[in-house]
Structure formats: C-alpha cells, structure tokens
C-alpha cells in the first residue's frame, strides 16, 4: 500500500494538488509574526501558535495546509532585538499575491488562521483589494471567498482563556500563547522564567488593543519596557497549552468545514 498523501502543500506534488481540487477547493493558511515575547518567550511565538493550530485543524478537516506566513506587521516591536516586520503595504501585497496564486490554481475558499493581532488589518485589507479588483472589472475569475480567524477567536477558546487566566491574559505575551509554545517546545519555553504579576504600563487613552493598533517602536518600548502588555505569562503551563491546542484546533476545524460548505 502506498504511503498516504501528505496534506502540507509544500510536501505535495502538483498532480496530488490537482487530485485534491477535484473534491475540495479549500485551503488553510497560518499567519504569524517574528517579534519579541518578553524575557522568556520565543520570537516566533505567534507563527508557532498559528501553525500548530492550523495544522491540527487542517488534519481534522481533511484540508490542505498552506505555507506559514511567518513574518507579519510588527513595526511597533522593532525597539526589541530580533523583531522582524513587514510594512503594512508589503503584507497586503504578499497576501494578495498568495491568494491570487491559489485562486489561479483553482482554490476557491482561503481560510487564514492568524496568530498576531498586527496582521488583522493588513490581511482584511488584502481580501478587500482582491474583491475590489473583481468588482471594478480589472480581474476575472470564478468564485473566491476568504476568511480570517485568529486562533483565539472561537467562543470555546475565549472561555477557556478567561477561565484559566482571567485578567492575567492581557494582550501580548499572553499566558495562553506561552502555554502553547511551552507544550510544543518544553526545552525552550519555561513560564517560571517570566516575572509574576501584571506589569505596570504607561497606557494611552486613545489606544485600542484589539488588532494591535499601537504607535511607533520607541513609544511602544517606553510604555511596555519588558515586552508584556497587561499579561502574566508566568501563569502558563505546558499542560494548559495542550488543552488550548485541542480546543482551538477543533473549533477552527468546525468553522473551516462550515466555511467551505457555504456559498
């Protein structure tokens, strides 16, 4: 008996993708970031979390898993060593070209599992740019539907995060993402290496944390000198990371299945 066909796009042949498209037109794409995650968090935390959840969800749903967009829009964290960032316009162009390539091949349902708040606005803008090209008659093609879901968006995941960490979850270097990376990389991520308690910060009355619409890198470093934003990652455990991965991947798989079934 031949080995099963892998479902990661980069490990498939073109002929295998054509066979898949005969029965399904959906694909799952993880997006993340390379940016600081406090004194003990991995720079690739956001991409690691998104790829892990997306990979498990794709397996559960029988979907192809596309290559992870590892670098995201994280300009506000460039004051911390190791952070990499795309300009918002660069990320929009990257997503437009990624999706256009898939659509040209025959994919019609593109499902993005995101792990970084700074990516939300550029990805949604990219989707609208794609749709606008069609609406204005500058691009032809059949049906194309795109969906963006942060791995923490499903209600079951939100309830679990609140139940585990309450106000300690915060917005960046969250115990939930640290728990997931601790489960995946226990030799590298040790939550006890983080300071305990929610750090003091110089907040702004005009800041809206959802979607990471922060200011420039110098301002961000001054407000959040140890990298944490209202979070206590010392609360995390690897066992909780396993639980979060399971709940998130199952919820994402269900949402993906509903997405590809809809018209």
Neighbouring C-beta atoms of residue 100, cutoff 10 Å:
17
Measured CA to CA in angstroms, residue 62 lies from 18, 39, 59, 66, 253 at distances of 15, 38, 5, 13, 9
Average pLDDT over residues 70-86: 98
Burial readout 53-91 (b: 16 or more C-beta within 10 A, e: otherwise): bbbbbbeebebbbbebbbbbbbbbbbbbeebebbebeeb
pLDDT (tens digit per residue) in 2-30: 667 779 999 999 999 999 999 999 999 99
Average pLDDT, the chain: 96
Average pLDDT over residues 35-53: 98
Residue 207 has pLDDT above 70, yes or no: yes
- Taking the C-alpha atoms of residue 219 and residue 200, their distance in angstroms, rounded to an integer, is 15
Residue 262 has pLDDT above 90, yes or no: no
pLDDT for the residue numbered 175: 98
pLDDT for the residue numbered 2: 63
pLDDT (tens digit per residue) in 89-133: 999 999 999 999 999 999 999 999 999 999 999 999 999 999 999
Query: Over pLDDT 70: what percentage of the chain?
Result: 99
pLDDT for the residue numbered 6: 76
CB 232 within 8 A of CB 131: no
Residue 72 has pLDDT above 70, yes or no: yes
CATH of 25-257, one of 1.10.10.10, 3.40.50.300, 3.40.50.10310, 3.40.50.720: 3.40.50.10310
Domain ranges of the chain: 25-257
Q: How would residue 211 be classed by pLDDT, with cut points 50, 70 and 90?
A: confident
CB 26 within 8 A of CB 18: no
pLDDT for the residue numbered 115: 98
pLDDT for the residue numbered 160: 98
pLDDT for the residue numbered 5: 78
Query: Over pLDDT 90: what percentage of the chain?
Result: 91
CA 153 distance to own-chain centroid: 11
Average pLDDT over residues 216-232: 97
Higher pLDDT, 141 or 224: 224
5-9, 67-71, 165-169, 250-254: least confidently modelled range: 5-9
pLDDT for the residue numbered 1: 59
pLDDT for the residue numbered 213: 86
Q: How would residue 251 be classed by pLDDT, with cut points 50, 70 and 90?
A: very high
Q: Six-digit token pair at 261?
A: 């079934």
């Amino acid at each position: 008996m031949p080995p099963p066909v892998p479902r990661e796009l980069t490990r498939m042949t073109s002929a295998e993708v054509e066979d898949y498209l005969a029965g399904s037109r959906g694909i799952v794409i993880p997006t993340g970031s390379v940016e600081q995650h406090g004194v003990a968090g991995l720079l690739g935390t956001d991409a690691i979390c998104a790829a892990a959840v997306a990979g498990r969800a794709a397996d559960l749903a029988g979907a192809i898993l596309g290559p992870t967009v590892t670098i995201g829009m994280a300009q506000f964290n460039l004051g911390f060593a190791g952070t990499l960032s795309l300009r918002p316009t660069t990320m929009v162009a990257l997503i437009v070209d990624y999706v256009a390539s898939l659509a040209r091949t025959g994919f019609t349902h593109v499902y993005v599992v995101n792990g970084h708040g700074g990516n939300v606005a550029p990805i949604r803008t990219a989707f609208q740019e794609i749709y606008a090209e069609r609406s204005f008659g500058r691009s032809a093609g059949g049906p194309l539907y795109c969906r963006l879901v942060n791995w923490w968006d499903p209600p079951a995941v939100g309830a679990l995060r609140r139940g585990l960490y309450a106000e300690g979850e915060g917005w960046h270097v969250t115990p939930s993402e640290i728990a997931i990376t601790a489960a995946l990389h226990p030799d590298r991520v040790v939550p006890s290496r983080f300071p305990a308690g929610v750090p003091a910060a110089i907040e702004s009355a005009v800041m809206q944390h959802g979607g990471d619409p922060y200011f420039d890198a110098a301002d961000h470093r001054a407000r959040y000198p140890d990298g944490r934003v209202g979070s206590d990652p010392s609360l995390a455990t690897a066992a909780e990371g396993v639980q979060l991965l399971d709940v998130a991947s199952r919820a994402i798989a269900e949402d993906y299945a509903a997405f590809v079934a809809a018209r």
